[in-house]
A and B are shown apart, each in its own frame.
Chain A
Amino acid sequence: MSATALPAFRAPNPILAFIRAQPLGAAGLVVILVMGTAAVFAEVIAPFNPEAIDFMSMLAAPSADHFFGTDAFGRDILTRIIYGARTALTIGFLSSFIGCTAGGLLGVASAYFGGRADLLIMRLVDIVLSFPIIVLALVVVAVLGKTAVLGIDLNLVFAIAIPIIPRACRVVRSAALSVRQMPYIDAARAGGYSSTHIILRHMAPNVLAPYLILLTAYVAQAILLEASLSFLGLGVQEPKPAWGLMLAGDSANFYQEAPWMILFPGLAISLAVFAFNLFGDSLRDWLDPKFRT
């Protein structure tokens, strides 16, 4: 009897698999990576200093010297968009991470404890959810004011993160409820592990998929919120480059004479949000077996 050699097992490359399965999501990921690279290496990539006024180039139209034109102070718009990506991504990721993590843990805890604790947490979530996300962020940023650490306004980050918490909490709780019914949770309880241990070591890792999807989706929301708050004068302040801020102030005054002042920052916001939404949706489809076709 001769033995037949089986072909060696090769695990599929998850990145290639994702690209094949979700080409639109992959396109979104490429845009995110380009933005991320621009944000990290802004000093190298950007042709000018984002805050440098150039009186000789005020309101210059797009040209070989300034690809996206200049604003009312002669500042290069391409440079400010590149640096603005840093602001958007930093605040976007931080806010989404804090909001989704806090919300996720609260959701898992709510599902684990059940009963009155679950009822109380969910009613609190309902109350916070009754406020529109922008209104809640406005209130929080107005109350907290500004506290800059390493150039990042932490209160702005919290103002954006707080409205995310109840939304993440509700989604993660629904996923955690099914995990709560699993025999290994009962086994862990029977084994005498503490509630904190069970929540962090046994339940939280099993709701990682919805958590990651939420994290990605809320980066887009956070970028939009940061842009909105900056546009309203409650977020990033001049002369720091931020996309929403670039649409405010002088852009409103000069939109007829220099439409490029609003066109390119507007496109940057739209593209970033579109990319994160595409990636987030695709990630959900890819990670959730129910959406696989």
Chain B
Amino acid sequence: MAEDTHHLSRRAMLAMPALVYGTAALGQTPAGEPQRGGTLQYAVAAEPPTYDLHQTGTFAVMHRVAPHYSTLLQYEQFNYPNIVGDLAQSWEAAPDQLTYTFRLHPNVRFHDGTILTSEDVRASYARMIAPPEGVTSNRQPAFGQIGAIETPDPLTVVFKMKRVDASIMDTFVSPWNSIFSAARLRAEPNWPARNIMGTGPFRFVEHVAGSHWVGQKFDGYFKQGKPYLDGFRAITMAPSAMVNALSGRQILAEFRGFTPVERDRIMRGLGADGRTFESSWMLHMLLSFNNEKPPFDDVRVRRALSLALDRWGGSTSLSRISQLGAVGGMVRPGSEWSSTPAEMERWPGYGRDMAANRAEARRLLREAGQENLSFTLMNRNHQPYVTAGIFVIDQLRQIGVRAEHQQVELASWYANQGSGGFEAMIDSFTQLSDDPTNVLVKYISKDRAGVATARAIDRELDRLFDAQAQEIDKAKRKQLVGKFEDRAFEQAHLVPILWFQRLVVLNRRVQGWTMSPTHMIYQDLADVWLAPERG
């Protein structure tokens, strides 16, 4: 991952190696002394389906809501993936790794003036681990090994583990684990879905659907001297409008990412006032089959559809026009847990001989009696999902399968995803770290994970998932991850299409923001400040 302060032409970008597997925020340093004041105006591409970080996984919520909340831990600024405390002043793990004790900062205030205590932490985590009726928790499977939460005093929280969880620190640091007021949760467990009240650096002012979201500096923020900004205004706009707004200096940032062409166009507009950042991305595009609906309950059909995807060809070409880039399995390609390209070629749909893949796909469909298969492919109505949808439909067409592209608004997409109201869907999954437990949870049984959109039950995958999660030895754990991937590709409940490449462009006035391989962290804006306008 690197910051590039010079404009790169598209031709130059194409000549560069397509895949940059950055893992650390190397070379990013704060520029000068932070300055106070100003309102950061930035864009977000989609409307938030909820305000509740526990119940969702979309950036449309994170990029608006993160500045209002705190978490126990967070990733250190400019030093990803090093972990530092947020609400936690200190923490320690017992030698047997079955007890984790967190000591909280004293006198942390909620935006309503009440003092945060260990009970607020306990109530928030309890809500994620065992959500009450009417509340869903996307985080539930990640906390499966937590047996009990104790609060011996108002500033101490103790997590007792049922078993060793090799990735528990990566789980604790998740920005989705926002701490809500226990009193508010007691009164209405679903209160955070439509209300905002946390201990973060900014208090909520207003949300006008389809227009903007406004936050104002919280003077009672527990980190002395922060935030630097007076406030922020997140504006809802389409990606094409963002390009014009950013290059025209009407907004100063967009934190998710642009395509190479958009990046170049913005930089042409901003000139020396622009900064670009590039990184591989812990985000991958998936093709998810609803295993509860025929014919997707037939493994032959699912595997045939996965076989039809020319991932290697798609990677080379789609990276020119979209954020889609690397070919990978279920863990980020290039990470320590990832299979090599040669190993990947063993998986169905990853062999480079597409004629053979498609012949095998047709054979499987014939065998399943689905030669003339047609179905509806549900998708989001924004990029790069539409690009992925067009690609998948074209690939399926080549084995005689007809897919109807149904593009819907994000809220509707989530509603259908949650209720199983789809046949197949273009899905995506983003992680905060390369730890396999964070990643593979997407592929386990539906009764184990709310994020498992394929609605499958596969106890063998569950068993392998649990085994790797408890394995401390890295080499053995990697073997188990490999076995998990082999099984998951063989069953093809849901399959990766391509991984994303993250390209961010900021106006040079925006300082103190940290680039990382995930767009879900460093979004509380506590460290961000605005440099004065030039000239």
Contact = CB atoms under 8 A, between A and B. Distances in A.
Contact of A239 (B243, B262, B321, B405): B405
A186 to B, nearest CB: 55
Interface stretch (A100-108, A133-141, A170-178, A246-254): A246-254
The DSSP consensus for interface residues of chain B is: helix
A238 B10 contact: no
Contacts of A257: 10, 261
Interface stretch (A6-14, A47-55, A197-205): A47-55
A58 B405 CA distance: 21
A249 B379 CA distance: 15
A239 B393 contact: yes
Contacts of B240: 252-253
Interface in A42-63: 51-53, 55, 58-59
B386 interface: yes
Interface string A70-89: 00111000000000000000
A53 B316 CA distance: 14
Which of A58, A59, A148, A250 gathers the greatest number of chain B CB atoms within 10 Å?
A250
Nearest to B10: A257
Interface in B387-416: 387, 389-391, 393-394, 397, 404-407
A52 B405 contact: no
Nearest to B241: A252
B410 to A, nearest CB: 13
Interface residues of B, number: 27
Interface string A91-133: 0000000000000000000000000000000000000000000
B320 interface: yes
B35 interface: no
Contacts of B394: 51-53, 73, 239
Contact of B262 (A53, A240, A253): A253
B383 interface: yes
Given A52-B397, A148-B404, A237-B407, A253 B261 contact: yes
A73 B324 CA distance: 13
A73 B383 CA distance: 14
A275 B308 CA distance: 43
Interface in B151-173: none
A53 B407 contact: no
B390 A256 contact: no
A237 B314 CA distance: 21
Interface string B268-280: 0000000000000
A66 interface: no
Contact of B391 (A53, A59, A237): A53
Contact of B259 (A59, A146, A253): A253
B404 A250 contact: no
A148 B406 CA distance: 11
A238 B383 CA distance: 12
Nearest to A72: B321
Given A55-B317, A237-B405, A73 B10 contact: no
B389 A238 contact: yes
Contacts of A72: 321
A273 to B, nearest CB: 24
A115 B391 CA distance: 59
Interface residues of A, number: 23
Interface string A223-238: 0000000000100011
Given A53-B390, A233-B381, A257-B261, A238 B321 contact: no
A146 B389 CA distance: 18
Contacts of B406: 146, 237
A22 B397 CA distance: 47
Nearest to A236: B405
Contacts of B405: 237-240
Contacts of B386: 238, 249
A256 B265 contact: yes
Contacts of A250: 321, 387
Contact of B397 (A51, A233, A240, A253): A51
B316 A55 contact: yes
Contacts of B317: 55, 58, 74
A288 to B, nearest CB: 44
Contacts of B407: 233, 237-238
A240 B397 CA distance: 13
Interface in A157-183: none
A77 to B, nearest CB: 15
Interface in A13-60: 51-53, 55, 58-59
Contacts of B390: 53, 73, 238-239
A52 to B, nearest CB: 6
B513 to A, nearest CB: 25
A238 B377 CA distance: 11
A257 to B, nearest CB: 7
A12 B393 CA distance: 54
Contacts of A52: 394, 397
A141 to B, nearest CB: 13
A74 B320 CA distance: 12
Interface string B303-327: 0000000000110110011000000
B390 to A, nearest CB: 5
A95 to B, nearest CB: 21
A280 B317 CA distance: 46
Nearest to A251: B240
Contacts of B391: 53, 73
A73 B313 CA distance: 12
Q: A55, A148, A240, A254 — which one has the most chain B CB atoms within 10 A of its CB?
A: A55
Given A52-B397, A53-B391, A250-B321, 4 more contacts: A73-B390, A239-B393, A239-B405, A257-B261
Interface of A: 51-53, 55, 58-59, 72-74, 146, 148, 233, 237-240, 249-250, 252-254, 256-257
Interface of B: 10, 240, 243, 259, 261-262, 265, 313-314, 316-317, 320-321, 381, 383, 386-387, 389-391, 393-394, 397, 404-407
Closest 6 A-B residue pairs measured CB to CB? A55-B317, A53-B394, A252-B240, A72-B321, A239-B390, A237-B405
5 contacts: A53-B391, A58-B317, A58-B320, A59-B321, A257-B261
